[in-house]
């Protein structure tokens, strides 16, 4: 069996109905995992893409606007992979940013991520098995950005939690890592791509000369879930076309 194979594994991918989450779910299934695609909207398109290619997938409605929505998802279900991709963004100048926009983003991007991962780990430990967690961080886990204060704070938190959980769980059989996508062509970046000046400024900084595609993120996630990454713990892998290198 290939060291990259996910045959016999069972994965939950959050926010799998579109964009990066959808690409991750398809990639994990391609490597042999059985994938449960979770989202606040039905993931029928993702499931259809996987099953039509001969993979195994199902859809699960979960709204992580409730930070405790992940409780009870894992017990006795045989999951050994969790990809925390679900996330939202709110844009406004810091001086005008509302408490509601702060709380909404932090609840989904950070609080729900932690408590969902906690529930996953409890299940893995109870079964005596091993597991892999991959969190979707961001370039804004390392930089400030502009007009996205709660998003930046949440993604800095994701990077920190990734390292903390790796410290606690590496010796107990769970690998915890993260990917930090650069500027990717998704719904979250539509406003940036629609602004000619911002779009050009972003492209001028990316050595690869293009926006990322969701599939560019999916391959590294599949790798971090695989036996090939068995000795990787607490890493935050930049997948950014070289943005942070410039």
Query: Is residue 53 one of the residues assigned to a domain?
Result: yes
Q: Judge whether 231 counts as a catalytic residue.
A: no
Query: Is residue 125 one of the residues assigned to a domain?
Result: yes
- The active-site residue out of 79, 151, 183, 223 is 151
Tokens of 184: 């990717």
Domain housing 213: 10-237
What does each C-alpha distance from 65 to 29, 68, 105, 175, 180 come to in angstroms? 26, 9, 8, 26, 22
Query: CA triplet 53, 80, 50: central angle to 5 degrees?
Result: 10
The confidence score (pLDDT) of residue 42 equals 94
Q: What is this structure's pTM? A: 0.96
Q: Residue 183 has what DSSP assignment?
A: S
pLDDT digit string (tens) for the chain, length 246 residues: 899 999 999 999 999 999 999 999 999 999 999 999 999 999 999 999 999 999 999 999 999 999 999 999 999 999 999 999 999 999 999 999 999 999 999 999 999 999 999 999 999 999 999 999 999 999 999 999 999 999 999 999 999 999 999 999 999 999 999 999 999 998 878 888 999 999 999 999 999 999 999 999 999 999 999 999 999 999 999 999 999 999
Q: How far is CA 239 from the centre of its chain?
A: 12
Residue given tokens 């430990």 in the structure block: 125
Domain count, the chain: 1
Query: Is residue 157 one of the residues assigned to a domain?
Result: yes
Query: Is residue 246 one of the residues assigned to a domain?
Result: no
Query: Is residue 5 one of the residues assigned to a domain?
Result: no
CATH number at residue 148: 3.40.50.720
Query: Is residue 18 one of the residues assigned to a domain?
Result: yes
| DSSP assignment string, 89-135 | -----GGG--HHHHHHHHIIIIIHHHHHHHHHHHHHHHHT--EEEEE
Query: Is residue 83 one of the residues assigned to a domain?
Result: yes
């Amino acid at each position: 069996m290939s060291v990259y194979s996910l045959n016999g594994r069972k994965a939950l991918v959050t926010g799998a109905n579109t964009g990066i989450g959808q690409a991750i779910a398809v990639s994990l299934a391609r490597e042999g995992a059985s994938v449960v695609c979770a989202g606040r909207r039905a993931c029928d398109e993702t499931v259809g893409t996987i099953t039509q290619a001969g993979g195994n997938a199902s859809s699960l409605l979960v709204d992580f606007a409730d930070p405790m929505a992940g409780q009870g998802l894992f017990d006795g279900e045989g999951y050994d992979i969790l990809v925390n991709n679900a996330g939202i963004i709110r844009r406004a100048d810091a001086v005008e940013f509302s408490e509601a926009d702060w709380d909404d983003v932090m609840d989904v991007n950070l609080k729900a991520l932690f408590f969902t991962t906690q529930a996953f780990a409890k299940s893995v430990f109870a079964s005596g098995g091993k597991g892999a967690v991959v969190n979707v961080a961001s370039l804004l886990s390392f930089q400030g950005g502009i007009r996205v204060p709660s998003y930046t704070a949440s993604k800095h938190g994701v990077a920190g939690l990734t390292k903390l959980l790796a410290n606690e769980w590496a010796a107990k059989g769970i690998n915890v890592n993260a990917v930090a996508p650069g500027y990717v062509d998704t719904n979250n970046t539509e406003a940036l791509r629609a602004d000619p000046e911002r779009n050009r400024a972003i492209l001028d900084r990316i050595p690869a000369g293009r926006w990322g595609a969701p599939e560019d993120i999916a391959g590294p996630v599949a790798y971090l879930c695989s036996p090939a990454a068995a000795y990787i713990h607490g890493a935050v892998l930049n997948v950014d076309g070289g943005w942070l290198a410039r």
